[in-house]
Amino acid sequence: MSDTSRTYDVVVLGAGPVGENVADRTRAAGLSTVIVERELLGGECSFWACEPSKALLRPVLARADARRVPGLRHAVDGPLDVAAVLSHRDDMVNHWHDEDQVEWLESVSVDLVRGHGRLDGPRRVVVSTPDGQTVRLDARVAVAVCTGTDTALPDLPHLDTVRHWTNREATGADTVPARLVVVGGGVVAVEMATAWRALGSEVTMLVRGEGLLVRMEPFAGELVADSLREAGVDLRFGASVTSVTRPRGPDGDVHVVLSDGGRLEADDILFATGRTPRTGDIGLEAVGLTPGDWLTVDDTFQVTAIEDGWLYAVGDVNHRALMTHQGKYQARIAGPVIAARANGEPVDTGRWGKHTATADSAALPQVVFTDPEVASVGLTAREAEHAGLRIKVVDNDFGSVAGAFQYAEGYQGRARLVIDLDRGVVVGATFVGPGIAELLYSATVVIVSEVPVDRLWHAVPAFPTISEVWLRLLETHRG
């Protein structure tokens, strides 16, 4: 293939779930669309994050639930079948092949160019293909950057020379390390500590702060910490890493030095220390932006620093909400926005308009797949107070919910609603306990729809289900 130039209405950089959804929406609206990807179609979520991590965690959580059921616990006393768990993980990621994603793109008439795409001026992307050729793509209407994020690694001496894990190695490893150090206290850290401990690793968690999941309600991190300790995880707070080496070479033990002078040895070390935008080498300098920066956007996902409104940034790369489902939500807005503007149609940017994002701030749902599970949406009590709301915090243990005890003997968990007293609506909800992830959508609908709390009294939960916690919370609120 020789060097070529092509022109489309829309060029999408990045073929993860976000880029795929943007491309699908613009093509469905009649705009010719091409997507550029240098790795696998389906991106981080499909191959190195959401899908493989949940494939590892599902057997862990199912066994934990079974151990709480009378008459069943002794049937699951033995260790997990590691080979079967890893084989299931491999199946879930299609053994790191993306042919099905290619077929889907073809089915919706979106073109694909494989290679490393870089901006080369307004409305232009230049792609270096794997076979050494160059493809120049010109966009009549818009370029959408959907390149996502990478692991943000700490600034440690010579870390780049030390074989270490990020989320990719943690979700893709084909053997169980005897000893694993996990650095971090956020979602990736607690989920991977849960999975690999259950698969047989001796896990040590090093958390710089004094708690886990610090962006959620404090009790969420406390309950997860208790469970990790009970599972045998060595959990250390206030622990900062100053040095990581493998003095005997890449296959030798990893040596970790802490700020207090403590030392650890392990087989592998996972850094789950946040995310950084994948914008360092996509040509931002060619359009007057700074490589490596997050891309600031308005509520229609136009990059605010670019004149003429031709550049969009959708998904993690804009730093609004770093979760796959939120990126796909953004794509469902950005695609129609691009099409509406291209066709000269009015853009609906009212508060709940179809062309404006509101869920990134008003109702952001998240599930942490640990044992116990954690599910939250909307504002924490701390965030609501910081926003100046006059609130009431309503807490309830699951101990009074019959459905919880049907689910698991000795069920331990807690629920919280944050109520805006001036408007009489729920603005935040958090649930912690086994099997509570599916409670989250009902809470999300309540917050997005601004259902009056008094009206919720007439939404009757079935008995005996875990969802009856809603009734207990409302009874506590009424007093």
C-beta contacts of 137-140 below 8 A and 24+ residues apart = 137/5, 137/6, 137/7, 137/8, 137/11, 137/34, 137/36, 137/113, 138/5, 138/6, 138/7, 138/8, 138/11, 139/7, 139/8, 139/9, 139/10, 139/11, 139/310, 140/7, 140/8, 140/9, 140/342
Distance CA 155, CA 133 (A): 36
Q: Please tell me the distance from the alpha carbon of residue 251 to that of residue 171, in angstroms, as a whole number.
A: 19
β-pairing verdict for 202-207 and 234-237: parallel
**What span, in angstroms and rounded, lies between the C-alpha atoms of 312 and 13?**
10
Query: What number of other Cβ atoms are within 10 A of residue 368's Cβ?
Result: 24
Q: How far is CA 182 from CA 1, 38, 54, 377, in A?
A: 45, 29, 18, 27
- How many CB atoms are located within 10 Å of the residue 238 CB? 12
Give the integer Cα–Cα distance in Å for 328 and 334: 10
Instruction: Provide the phi-psi class of 88: left if phi over 0, else alpha when psi is between -120 and 50, else beta.
Output: alpha
- Per the CB < 8 A criterion, the answer to whether 317 and 146 are in contact is yes
* Threshold 0.85, pTM exceeds: yes
The whole-angstrom separation of Cα 57 and Cα 419 is: 33
DSSP secondary structure string, 182-193? Answer: EE--SHHHHHHH
Judge contact between 178 and 372, C-beta under 8 A: no
Do 4-42+98-150+277-359 and 372-478 come out as alike in CATH topology?
no
Hunting for tokens 């901006």 — which residue is that? 119
Identify the pLDDT of residue 1.
43
**C-alpha dist (Å) from residue 350 to 123, 358, 461:** 28, 10, 33
Decide: helix, strand or coil at residue 102: helix
CATH of domain 159-273: 3.50.50.60
Calpha distance 298→332 (Å, rounded): 15
Would you state the pLDDT for residue 399?
87
Alpha carbons 457 and 139: distance in angstroms, whole number: 53
Token pair belonging to 208: 């710089």
pLDDT (0 to 100) of residue 362: 81
Paired sense of beta strands 33-37 and 111-114, if any: parallel
* Residue 19 three-state SS: helix
Write down the architecture of domain 4-42+98-150+277-359 according to CATH: 3-Layer(bba) Sandwich (3.50)
Count of CB atoms situated within 10 Å of the CB of 79: 10
Please give the Cα distance from 44 to 313 (Å, whole number).
Answer: 17
State the pLDDT at residue 225.
98
Could you tell me whether strands 149-151 and 202-207 are parallel, antiparallel, or unpaired per DSSP bridges?
A: unpaired
CATH topology of domain 372-478: Enolase-like; domain 1 (3.30.390)
Closest CA to 224 of 281, 274, 186: 186
Query: Alpha carbon of 476 to those of 266, 394, 411, 469, 472: distances in Å?
Result: 48, 7, 20, 10, 6
CA atoms within 13 A on the CB side of 391: 22
Whether omega for the bond prior to residue 464 falls within 30 degrees of 0, making it cis, is: yes
Determine the pLDDT at residue 2: 58
Q: Residue 263 belongs to what H/E stretch?
A: strand 263-266
Provide, for the chain, the percentages of residues in helix, strand and coil under a 3-state DSSP scheme, each rounded to the nearest 5: 35, 25, 40
CA distance 283 to 264: 41
Q: What is the pLDDT along the chain (479 residues), one digit of tens a residue?
A: 458 999 999 999 999 999 999 999 999 999 999 999 999 999 999 999 999 999 999 999 999 999 999 999 899 989 999 999 999 999 999 999 999 999 999 999 999 999 999 999 999 999 999 999 999 999 999 999 999 999 999 999 999 999 999 999 999 999 999 999 999 999 999 999 999 999 999 999 999 999 999 999 999 999 999 999 999 999 999 999 999 999 999 889 999 999 999 999 999 999 999 999 999 999 999 999 999 999 999 999 999 999 999 999 999 999 999 999 999 999 999 999 999 999 999 888 877 788 888 888 889 999 999 999 999 999 999 999 999 999 999 999 998 899 999 999 989 999 999 999 999 999 999 999 999 999 999 999 999 999 999 999 999 999 999 999 999 999 999 98
Report how far apart, in Å, the C-alpha atoms of 251 and of each of 5, 177, 181, 264 are: 46, 12, 16, 16
Start-end of H helices in 305-358: 324-342
Q: List b or e across 419-450, with b for residues whose CB sees 16 or more CB atoms inside 10 angstroms.
A: bbeeeebbbbbbbbbbbbbebbebbbebbbee
Query: What is the domain partition of the chain in residue ranges?
Result: 4-42+98-150+277-359, 159-273, 372-478
> Does residue 173 contact residue 201 with C-beta atoms inside 8 Å?
no
Q: For residue 62, which of 325, 368, 373 has the smallest C-alpha distance?
A: 373
